[in-house]
């Protein structure tokens, strides 16, 4: 099936059609307009030229859907949702631009994770942003933030996740959030939960927010210690309850280190008992204040054991159990588990038949999507490959995101998996995993370096461990 889909999408005629459709300053909007009319059965409202193009686009979609078992009704239903439309447009345009690469790179980022402020009401030990108690002077103002939303929508971004710092500390949070929804993009919130009152959760739901991620790093004492505030645990649990009660799609995120490794199962229990739909294991990455606790990172052996545990939990739980570790795809595909993880933001659960059917997509989705499917945006407008990889590529005030996305030399290096070092480039799972580029950059200052968290790069970890131990004994 994979070869059939790849052959069809890689056909020069198909690519030529897709490239032509999105050509010009309004090409992306044109494609989205065509897909919207397809979803709502309003093709007659289109102009003659768009109807002709639309017929070709629908034929391409139909051929792929037929080969993957997706029904036309399912496609039409999704095309009524703005972020699904934008995502498909970016996929088709990406195929037109680059072909059906494995792993795939979209025309524009599907997702932009926007660190909307440096301000936070907590002081987490592992904060990748090194957040402080107040906003910094260089943060985008409200007018600039609204303008950025409009520009991202016009450039084809499907989803914006507002993160931080603590995004709810921005007085203009709901103004910006409303604009995201008005522009038919998906809205997500990444929060510590302590400020997510019932009223705010309801307001988010009324806006159309489709996803809320709330951080919980252990049981009461552990979480409060991680977060730097006594009582944070209870406030976070209240925030989770408020999100669930408001009907928001809620995920509990846990950054796992050696200090809370033995509490993973308990946090999954809490996630399930509170009614949240997803538990997400976050890889520890040495960025921001995280650089100060590198000695608390998991060893490759500990991480491998954890990923096996998560795959097992995903089989038996009534919630999604996911991981940002790209190696999770390899673990799930090893034949020992009945779930498939296409990437860290999705998995196919206990349905083994469905898992087998879509597993071929893993090589296209390709593990972590940093620099291929999503990027980060800093409070001051700096464009970065990933929120955990704070390499400034350009600034949104002065540059178009799509231009940076398609022409950045740094992003090109991130996408060149055959050039990765260590065991990554030699691994049979290179296309479905590729290692965490933020970890490679954080530990080796080399985006093509080995991911020392993988069991297959254990030698790299051993070298790092000696260096970390030496530096802690002999600081500069």
| Structure confidence at residue 68 (pLDDT) | 67
Query: Which secondary-structure segment (H or E) carries 162?
Result: strand 159-163
> Do the Cβ atoms of 349 and 314 come closer than 8 Å?
yes
| Structure confidence at residue 354 (pLDDT) | 47
pLDDT exceeds 50 at position 348: no
Across 208-212, 280-284, 431-435, 469-473, least confident range? 469-473
Q: Where in the chain is the domain with CATH 3.20.20.70?
A: 111-397
Dihedral-angle region of residue 51 (phi above 0 means left; psi in -120 to 50 means alpha; beta otherwise): alpha
In tens, the pLDDT along 302-331 reads 999 999 999 999 999 999 999 999 999 889
pLDDT exceeds 50 at position 134: yes
> Do the Cβ atoms of 432 and 363 come closer than 8 Å?
yes
pLDDT exceeds 90 at position 11: no
Q: What is the mean pLDDT of the chain?
A: 89
In tens, the pLDDT along 288-299 reads 999 999 999 999
Across 38-52, 211-225, 392-406, 420-434, least confident range? 38-52
pLDDT exceeds 50 at position 212: yes
**Is the four-CA dihedral 239, 245, 249, 253 of positive or negative sign?**
positive
Alpha carbon 191 to its chain's center: 15
pTM over 0.85: yes
> Do the Cβ atoms of 282 and 435 come closer than 8 Å?
no
Instruction: At 70, give phi and psi (nearest 5°).
Output: -85, 135
Average pLDDT over residues 338-354: 53
Q: Which residues contact 248 (CB under 8 A, 6 or more apart)?
A: 201, 204, 205, 209, 211, 212
Select 111-397's CATH number: 1.10.10.10, 3.30.420.40, 3.20.20.70, 3.40.640.10.
3.20.20.70
In tens, the pLDDT along 90-100 reads 988 898 888 88
In tens, the pLDDT along 396-454 reads 999 999 999 999 999 999 999 999 999 998 999 999 899 999 999 999 999 999 999 99
Q: Which residues contact 384 (CB under 8 A, 6 or more apart)?
A: 375, 376, 377, 378, 390, 391, 392, 393
Q: Which residues contact 25 (CB under 8 A, 6 or more apart)?
A: none
């Amino acid at each position: 099936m994979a070869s059939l889909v790849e052959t069809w999408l890689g056909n020069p005629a198909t690519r030529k059609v897709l490239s032509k459709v999105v050509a010009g300053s309004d090409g992306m909007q044109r494609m989205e307009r065509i897909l919207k009319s397809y979803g709502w059965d309003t093709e007659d409202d289109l102009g003659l030229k768009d109807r002709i193009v639309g017929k070709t686009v629908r034929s391409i979609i139909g051929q792929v859907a037929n080969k993957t078992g997706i029904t036309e009704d399912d496609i039409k239903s999704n095309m009524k949702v703005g972020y699904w439309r934008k995502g498909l447009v970016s996929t088709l345009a990406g195929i037109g631009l680059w072909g059906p690469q494995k792993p795939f790179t979209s025309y524009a980022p599907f997702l932009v994770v926007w660190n909307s402020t440096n301000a936070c009401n907590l002081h987490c030990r592992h904060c990748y942003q090194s957040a402080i108690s107040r906003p910094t002077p260089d943060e985008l103002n409200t007018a600039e933030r609204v303008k950025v939303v409009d520009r991202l929508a016009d450039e084809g971004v499907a989803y914006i996740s507002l993160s931080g710092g603590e995004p709810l500390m921005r007085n203009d949070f709901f103004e910006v959030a409303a604009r995201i929804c008005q522009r038919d993009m998906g809205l997500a919130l990444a929060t510590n939960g302590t400020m997510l009152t019932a009223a705010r959760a309801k307001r988010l739901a009324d806006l159309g927010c489709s996803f809320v991620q709330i951080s919980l790093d252990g049981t009461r004492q552990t979480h409060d210690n991680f977060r730097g505030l006594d009582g944070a645990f209870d406030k976070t649990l209240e925030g989770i309850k408020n999100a669930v009660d408001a009907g928001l799609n809620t995920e509990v995120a846990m950054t796992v280190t050696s200090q809370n490794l033995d509490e993973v199962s308990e946090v999954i229990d809490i996630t399930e008992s509170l009614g949240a739909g997803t538990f997400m294991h976050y890889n520890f990455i040495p960025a921001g204040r995280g650089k100060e606790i590198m000695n608390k990172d998991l060893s490759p052996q500990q991480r491998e054991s954890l990923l096996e545990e998560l795959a097992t939990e995903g089989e038996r739980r009534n919630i999604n159990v996911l991981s940002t570790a790209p190696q999770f795809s390899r673990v799930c595909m090893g034949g020992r588990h009945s779930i498939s993880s296409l990437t860290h933001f999705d998995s196919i659960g206990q349905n083994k038949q469905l898992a087998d059917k879509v597993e071929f997509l893993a090589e296209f989705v390709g593990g972590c999507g940093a620099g291929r499917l999503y990027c980060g945006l800093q409070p001051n407008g700096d464009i970065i490959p990933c929120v955990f990889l704070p390499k400034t590529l350009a600034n949104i005030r002065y540059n178009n995101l799509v231009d940076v996305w398609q022409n950045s030399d740094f992003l090109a290096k991130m996408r060149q998996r055959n050039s990765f070092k260590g065991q990554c480039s030699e691994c049979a799972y290179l296309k479905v995993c590729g290692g965490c580029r933020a970890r490679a950059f954080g530990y080796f200052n080399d985006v093509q370096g080995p991911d020392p968290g993988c069991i297959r790069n254990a030698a790299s970890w051993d070298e790092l461990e000696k260096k970390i131990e030496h530096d802690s004994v002999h600081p500069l």
